[in-house]
Amino acid sequence: DVKVTQSSRYLVKRTGEKVFLECVQDMDHENMFWYRQDPGLGLRLIYFSYDVKMKEKGDIPEGYSVSREKKERFSLILESASTNQTSMYLCASSYSQITPGPDTQYFGPGTRLTVL
Amino acid sequence: AQKITQTQPGMFVQEKEAVTLDCTYDTSDPSYGLFWYKQPSSGEMIFLIYQGSYDQQNATEGRYSLNFQKARKSANLVISASQLGDSAMYFCAMTINQFYFGTGTSLTVIP
């Protein structure tokens, strides 16, 4: 079974802190994704990566950066956390690039971040 | 622009009854995929079912079926014989070159 793990289930940080959210997958997937989930807004793509050291902006990259130094690990970084970044963050991975085909994404359990 | 719409923020269903969760989509691309995911209170997104835009028959996976009406651009999820464990958020998603998610429907199964 594919396993995607995230470093924390719950995280509380203060405004202005630098925050690292870590994601690890164990199935040698090429592609990794970071989403933000807010009530009434669904999942919104922040960043994704198709290969090591490669990254692409999603729909809402402002205020975030990412790092992918190893194939299995994809980190989301909040350079200076703000209260409007309080949210649920979901990491996902997939074997191939996103196409109309049936290859699904596999999700981690999520990190609920609160910025005070 | 790609868009997925789920118009039912919350739904209730009696245990053992069937329920339909609505999803409409908007794209001009002829090739796309449609997914449904379940998100229990634990937070993890669980893949339920997939339908390709060129698939002639509706997809089925156990108690889940996808009612695909291409001309109407709808991809409704039907859950037969609801169980208490079906209580969760349900997300519809469309894929072309990335995943586009709807806002979700919260389903509550009543004993």
The whole-chain average pLDDT of chain B stands at 94
State the pLDDT at residue B1: 57
CA distance B43 to chain A (A): 5
Please report how many Cα atoms fall inside a 13 Å half-sphere around the Cα of residue B46, on the Cβ side. Answer: 12
Q: How far is CA B70 from the centre of its chain?
A: 15
Q: What is the DSSP letter of A99?
A: -
Q: Compute the distance between CA of residue B23 and CA of residue B7 in angstroms, rounded to an integer.
A: 7
Write the CA distances from B54 to A6, A97, A101, B47, integer angstroms: 35, 19, 10, 20
A103 confidence band (pLDDT: 50, 70, 90)? confident
A104 and B45 within 8 Å at the Cβ level: the answer is no
The tokens of B82 are what? 């609801």
Q: Is the pLDDT of residue B2 over 70?
A: no
Q: Does A10 touch chain B (CB under 8 A)?
A: no
Phi, psi of B102 (to 5 degrees): -80, 180
Q: In sequence order, which residues have a C-beta less than 8 Å from that of residue A31 and are 6 or more positions away?
A: A48, A49, A50, A93, A94, A95, A96, A97, A98
State the pLDDT at residue B81: 96
Q: Is A109 helix (H, G, I), strand (E, B) or coil?
A: coil
B33 and A107 within 8 Å at the Cβ level: the answer is no
Q: Is the pLDDT of residue A41 over 80?
A: yes
Q: Does A106 touch chain B (CB under 8 A)?
A: yes
**Preferred mutation among A104, A112, A113 to probe B, highest tally of B CBs within 10 A:** A104
A95: which chain B residues are within 8 Å (Cβ-Cβ)? Answer: none
Q: Are A3 and A105 in contact (CB under 8 A)?
A: no
Among partner residues B6, B43, B104, which is closest to A109 by beta-carbon distance?
Answer: B43
Q: Compute the distance between CA of residue A74 and CA of residue A104 in angstroms, rounded to an integer.
A: 18
Residues 60-79 of A with CB under 8 A from B: none
